[in-house]
Every structure is written in structure tokens, then in C-alpha cells.
Amino acid sequence: MPVSASISPLAPKTIPQLPVVAGVRLATAKAGIRYRDRADVMLAVFDRETSVAGVFTRSKCPSAPVEWCRAQLKGHFARALVVNSGNANAFTGKSGRQACALTAKFTAAAVNCKTSEVFLASTGVIGEPLDAHAFERVMTDLAGSARPDGYSEAAKAIMTTDTFPKLATARIRLGGTDVTINGFAKGAGMIAPDMATMLAFIFTDAPISAPLLQSLLRDGVVDTFNAVTIDGDTSTSDTVLAFATGAAPTPGIRRCTDPRLGPFRKAFNAVLADLAEQVARDGEGARKLVEIIVEGAVSKISARRIALSIANSPLVKTAIAGEDANWGRVVMAVGKAGEPADRDRLSIWFGGIRVAHRGARDEAYDEAAVSAAMKRPEISLKVALGLGKGRDRVLTCDLTQEYVAINGDYRS
Amino acid sequence: MPVSASISPLAPKTIPQLPVVAGVRLATAKAGIRYRDRADVMLAVFDRETSVAGVFTRSKCPSAPVEWCRAQLKGHFARALVVNSGNANAFTGKSGRQACALTAKFTAAAVNCKTSEVFLASTGVIGEPLDAHAFERVMTDLAGSARPDGYSEAAKAIMTTDTFPKLATARIRLGGTDVTINGFAKGAGMIAPDMATMLAFIFTDAPISAPLLQSLLRDGVVDTFNAVTIDGDTSTSDTVLAFATGAAPTPGIRRCTDPRLGPFRKAFNAVLADLAEQVARDGEGARKLVEIIVEGAVSKISARRIALSIANSPLVKTAIAGEDANWGRVVMAVGKAGEPADRDRLSIWFGGIRVAHRGARDEAYDEAAVSAAMKRPEISLKVALGLGKGRDRVLTCDLTQEYVAINGDYRS
């Protein structure tokens, strides 16, 4: 399970330094779960009762930590988050559930909270038992060394095939006070929006109630994490958790009519979108970031389905890897989506250049200009169906030989 | 659009020599539609009114020839079939419809029939206009040179990225007379069972009425062509046509209660299954033929959906390319299928060896034996859900770097 030697060419030029979020402290450790000589566990400690919200994979075979988190969310409050890489604790049966319970017990003892206030996520190989004692050995040190500025190290500790750590931050004025929203994520393959893709954790000092935070998160993932697909495969472990410490000195936000909610939502969604785009930029083997826009569909849902059919088509993705504006394959992918479409109204653009118009090749298009557009690292592909007002956008990447190489020997 | 230099390692050891079917004659020609120095058009002439049946892609953006055939099927009879490779005549708008009408006109004149008795299929690049005059130039020669033993050449003329021609035959005793069923097919990518995958043509001298032949074909593709997937992509041009000349000296079969229908159906389905398996064996870049069996599902349809979710998962397919019995990814693919599944009842076999049992790794399994099984060119993957009696089987292949290479520069 080697971490890719080279950083994705689509990686952001700079990795942001995240500011402190009052009430959050982080630490990492080398627990030796699978990797040697790198941190593979991170602990986030919340100094006071912190509102928590979560969205998870829609897989019918979710991992043990996903089931654990779903159960603890009912309590509305978190005091600790433990995430490991190297082992997903998925499809591990009864021993997986026991590993969660034990990890929570060790953590609760170290940070002095209830086990129900401990949230867990794991990523890595599926089907291998996870030894919770690996956490026991490092937990006291983790709790003792947690510090408010530990985001970069935490984001690195949860990486698997990621080639760069994914961090984002936003700062807004809320009721006369500055509040911060930090987030980090991991994910590079087994990514499809059936809930939310990969692991992502959001931290804010804004005083948002847990039910309101849940509603923000549920809405926020729709056009961010759920609009990214790398390979159409959906992990058993996808988890996005949001934590609001409430440490900012402003009265609590508990009602959806609170006027402070609008600007908060905007900044919160921007952090989600930033992280989701970074996941697409780190698609396994990716050399192209591809934005797919579908408009003129009968509804937004229909546009989403068509966009995903295009984004997940191996033939479209390999054509883009080959820098080939093969709009015939786009037609194929529209056709197989099963959504209303009329071949003779269909128009297609690559890189802003219309290559097909109303069901046939656009005779006016300049092949050289399209070829130049296809050579860029970021490619926009637009389809207009001419049926209605439904519009949607998803992000994906190309399918390269390196994707196959990475995934052909991941486990062995 | 190079034809692969090397033959798939999964190709059948021998290519069958097809016998004559009374009433069918075939010819090929080099029309220069896209390829140079190879035959790219085939004509089949039916000497008398021949029952015809067809099933087609479910794409919402079908090719012009698909629409043409659908319309002509209403007449129940065929006198000619024209198939070309190199250009799919798909997404070609009005000019595509005109190309079909013109091709039918040239063919009808050459074989002396009505245009409505001419059936058409095209495969190759989408979105490029097809010049029907390419057919005009060769049609008289084709009609003049058609002979009863032309199957091998015909199967070769319709190949695109196929690495070997796909032929199958069966002979049965029917009402005191021998009848023959011949078939050939092409297809190596853009293959998913939403109807029927690729192009395939079946010829028999059995005297089957058109409605009965349609019913046989519609039922027959379900567990053959519709149970094969290479990449989950569905062509705009998928076409399976069956022709029954009725030249065999036995009374016509017109009722579904005819006792001769049982043995005929069995042989007919065997030809479909043989061709469908050959398509899987020629999956672009394939190095492994993979049989996926799902049992214990709540229904056959549910089993089919789960089997296809596994078969189309890039992560499962790349793991198989890497000879890795990565059953964790199988769990993932079961989970994302959206069908009823209970993680804690799930068992998984690779090559007949149980690697996971009731939601956890099977502690008894021998890693060396599984590794040996994964090195074979034919791999069986079985999932037992433990919920009901639904069972299904699909065929697929692995996803290799060569698939990406083939599809990354197909058009350019």
C-alpha cells in the first residue's frame, strides 16, 4: 500500500496553513497499524461539549466506524475524534465492532469523557481485523501532546494513496465576532457521490446547535462532496463529520431563521467545495481535472445523473487522458444515462468550444483550438440537452494507466 | 483506430469454420470508409423472404442504423444485411438518416428487393458523417460475389478493436431434418448489457416465423449478451439481428407450443452464449476472463444488479488485473449496488476458495492457494448473500493499463 511517490500535477500550488479554532486541539502518532515510519493516527480533542454532525456512505455494507458514529450522533456532542489510516475496519464483523468500542474506551479514558462522545473513522484496507491496542499504546501521549495548530500533521496522518494533504479554511464575521471554519480531508480513489466520498472533518468555533449543523452539512455535501467522482466506486467508510465548539464569543445559533446562518452557510459550503475539489485533483493517477456541466435537462436530478454517467464512463475518461475531444463517447454516455435526452437537440462543448450542435458535428469548429484546449490540465466539458432548465455540475478526473497501476497492486 | 496488433490471450484456441446455411450468401469488400487495405463492408443476401428479429441498444441517443432497423422490423422479412466497420453513423443527424436510406437504396437495387427488406448496422467512430456512396461503389460487386461459405471473411470485415473474429455454430435435428444456426459478432469495448452489446448476427435455415424469432431473441439475450460487461459503457449502436431463411425442408414453426421449439431454443441460446463469451474474451486489454456469480439474493434481478456492480467496479477489475484477491473491494461493490445485502451474512469465493464468511475474513483460507487461483486466465468470483434464492451470473474481464492505452488514442 505505497503512498504514491510523486505529487499529483493537479495539486494546489500552496497548501494552506490553518489557523487555530478555539476549543480544538490535535495530535498525531505512529501507531504502526500498517505503515512504518509515518504517523497513521490522529486525535482531535474538543475542550468542551462540541456540537457534532455527520453524513456517511450509503453503502449497504458500511464499516464498523461508520456504524459507531451513526449511533453516537444521537447524543449531539463530541469530545474527541480518532482517525487512523492503513486499516478501514470494514467487513471485520464482531471484532470490528469490538475494536470501535475499545478504541472509544481508551480515548475516553485519555481525554476524560464518555465513550459516546468519541467519534471514529478509519481508512485503508478492508477486511483485515484492526487491533485496537495499537491505539491504546499511543493514546495517552496523543492526549498529552494535542495542540491547537496541529492541522497539517493531522491531514497527513490520514492519507492513504493521497499524494498531498487536503486542507481548507475560511474566516467570517458573525454577530460582531470572527469565527473560523477549518477542514481537512483524504481521498483519492473509491470515490463516488453516494453520500459523500472519503473522510473529511470540519471544525468551527461558531456556536451552532447540533441539529442545525446536521442540516447545514446534509445540504452542503450535495453540490460538493456528492458532486465529485473519481471512479464511480463508493467506499464502505465515507464519512464527513462537522464539529462546532461554540467557543466564539457570540450567542448560540439554534434556529434556521437566525440571520447569521446565511453567511455562515456560505463559508461552510466554500470549505466543503474546496476540499471536494482537492479530492478530485488527487484522483488516483489523474492528470486532468474535469468539470462536467450539464444544462437544459428536465431537472437538476436528471442533469446530475447525466453528468455522473459522463464522469464515470471509462471511455470518456480514457479519451480525456489521451487529450482526445471524443464527443462521440459523450453522446454514448448521455444515451446510457437513461434520462430524457433528444439526440437531435444535443450540443457539446470541450474547453468552451462547441464541437457538436443539435445532434451532429459542429462544422464550424476548429480542431486545432480544441486540441490545444485538451492539452490543458483543467478541462471543462459542457452538454446542453435543450429540454428544460435542469442544470448541474460535477468534478472528476481522467482515467490513466497509472490509475490501473496504483489499484492493481494496492493490497499486495 | 488501429486494430490491436496482438490477439487476446483469452481468445478461443480455434476459430470454427461455419457450415452453409441454405438461403444465405455473404460477401465482403474494401470500401475505404476509414481503414485502408482491409475489408470494411459485408453484405449478406437472403435468397428468399427471410424472417427477421432484432434487439437493440437502450441508449436514448441511438445510431441512425438502429433507428432504421427498428422501423424495418415491422415488415417481418429481410432480403439483405449490410454492415460496415470504421464509422458508426451515430450522432450524424439528418445526414445519418439519409446515409441509411441511400445505402438501403443501393443495396435494394443490387439484390433486387425492397429497401424495407434491407437491414443495416455500422460500428466505429461516432459523430463523423458516413458517405453512403462508399457502399454504392462496391455494392454490385458484393451482390455478384456473395457465396454461401463467406462467414469468416464477414466476421473479420466488421471488426474494430476486436483482436479475433467471433463465430459460433450449432446443428440440431428438427422434425426429421438437420437445421443449422450460425452466428458472428464483434465487440471489445463500450460493452454493457443495456440491451445487448455490440453487433451480432444469427442465421438459421429453420422455418421460424418472425414474431416467434423475435420472442426467442428477446429472451435469449437476457442471460447471454445482456450478461456481459466490459466497461459499463453502452454503445449507441448495439444490434443483434437474427435471420431465419426457412430453407430447411420442414414445416414452418409459427406457434410457441410447437414441440420443435424447445430444442431449437436451446441451440439458439447456445450460439448466443458462445458469441457473448467470445466478446468478454476479447475485452479491450483483457488478460483475465471473469465469471461473477451472485447467489442468495432476494431475486434474480437483484442478483444481476449486484453482479454488474461488481463487474463494472474499476477497483475490482484493477485488483483482478493485479492478480489480487481483494475481496474488500467486492464488499464495497456489493454495498454500493443499492440492493438488499446484509454485511454479516456475506460470503465470498475467489476461484472456488472461500475468503470471506459471514461478514469477516475466513480465517481458514489458504493465501497461497488463492494467489495461485488468481494467476489463472479464467477467474470465478462468487458472492453468497444469504438472503433469498435469487441467483445470476455475468461475464466480464479485468481492467488493465492496455485498456487505457487502447482507449486513450482510439480516435486520434
A255-296 per-position pLDDT tens digit: 888 999 999 999 999 999 999 899 888 887 888 999 999 999
Q: Which residues on chain A are in Cβ contact (under 8 Å) with B95?
A: 360
Query: In chain A, what residues touch B128 (CB-CB under 8 Å)?
Result: 328, 361
Query: For residue A408, what pLDDT band results from cuts at 50, 70 and 90?
Result: confident
**What is the pLDDT at residue B279?**
87
Contacts of A344 in chain B (CB under 8 A): 93
On chain B, the residues whose CB falls within 8 A of the CB of A322 are: 407-410, 412
Q: Which helix (H) or strand (E) holds A218?
A: helix A210-220
- In which band, very low, low, confident or very high, does the pLDDT at A189 lie, cut at 50, 70 and 90? low
| pLDDT, mean over chain A | 89
Residue A94: its chain B contacts at CB < 8 A?
360
Is A158's pLDDT higher than 90? Answer: yes
- The stretches in chain B having pLDDT less than 50 are 1-4, 192-197, 410-412
Q: What's the confidence (pLDDT) of residue A220?
A: 85
Please give the helix or strand (H or E) that residue A66 lies within, else none: helix A64-72
Which residues of chain B lie closer than 8 angstroms to A59, CB-CB? Answer: 332, 335-336
Q: Give which of B59, B294, B316 to mutate to test A binding, by max A Cβ within 10 Å.
A: B59
What is the rounded (10 degree) CA torsion for A141, A144, A149, A152? 10
- ipTM, two decimals, is 0.73
Neighbours of B155 (CB within 10 A): 24
- Nearest CB partner across the interface for A233, out of B60, B231, B315: B315
Cβ contact A404–B59 (<8 Å): no
Contact A407/B314, CB-based, under 8 Å?
A: yes
Q: Please confirm, yes or no, whether A204 is among the known catalytic residues.
A: no
Spell out the domains of chain B, with CATH numbers in brackets. Answer: 24-281 (3.60.70.12), 289-408 (3.10.20.340)
Residue B319: which of A61, A338, A408 has the nearest Cβ?
A: A408
Model pLDDT for residues B349-402, shown as the tens digit of each residue: 999 999 999 888 898 989 899 999 999 999 999 999 999 999 999 988 888 888
How do beta strands A177-186 and A199-204 pair? antiparallel
CB contact under 8 A, A408 and B318: yes
User: Could you say which of A103, A115, A197, A234 is catalytic?
Assistant: A197
* Residue B113: Cβ within 10 Å count: 19
- Sole residue written with cell 492526549: A143
As a dihedral over the C-alpha atoms of residue A279, residue A284, residue A289, residue A292, rounded to 10 degrees, the angle is -80
Instruction: Quote the CA–CA distance of B404 and B401 in Å, as a whole number.
Output: 5
- Nearest of B82, B2, B8 to residue B36 by alpha carbon: B2
pTM as predicted: 0.80
State the angle between helix axes of A401-408 and B401-408 in degrees (0 to 180), rounded to the nearest 10: 170
User: Would the CB atoms of A332 and B61 count as touching at under 8 Å?
Assistant: yes
- For residue A178, the distance in angstroms to the closest alpha carbon of chain B comes to 41
CA distance A107 to chain B (A): 25
Cβ distance A399 to B340 less than 8 Å, yes or no, reads no
**Residue A191, pLDDT above cutoff 60:** no
Rounded to an integer, what distance in angstroms lies between the CA atom of residue B206 and that of residue B176?
12
- Whether residue B340 and residue A410 make contact (CB cut-off 8 A), yes or no, is no
Instruction: Look at residue A231 in the predicted model and tell me its pLDDT.
Output: 65
- Predicted pLDDT at A5: 54
pLDDT attached to residue B124: 86
Are A60 and B94 within 8 A, CB to CB? Answer: no
| Span A76-98, pLDDT tens digits | 999 999 999 989 898 888 899 99
Q: Which of A87, A125, A126 to mutate to test the interface with B (most CBs of B within 10 A)?
A: A126
Inspect the interface and report whether the beta carbons of B328 and A60 lie closer than 8 Å. no
Q: Which of A34, A191, A318 to mutate to test the interface with B (most CBs of B within 10 A)?
A: A318
Confidence of residue A315 (pLDDT cuts 50, 70, 90): confident
Q: Given an 8 Å threshold on Cβ–Cβ distance, is B58 in contact with A338?
A: yes
Q: What is the reported pLDDT for B2?
A: 39
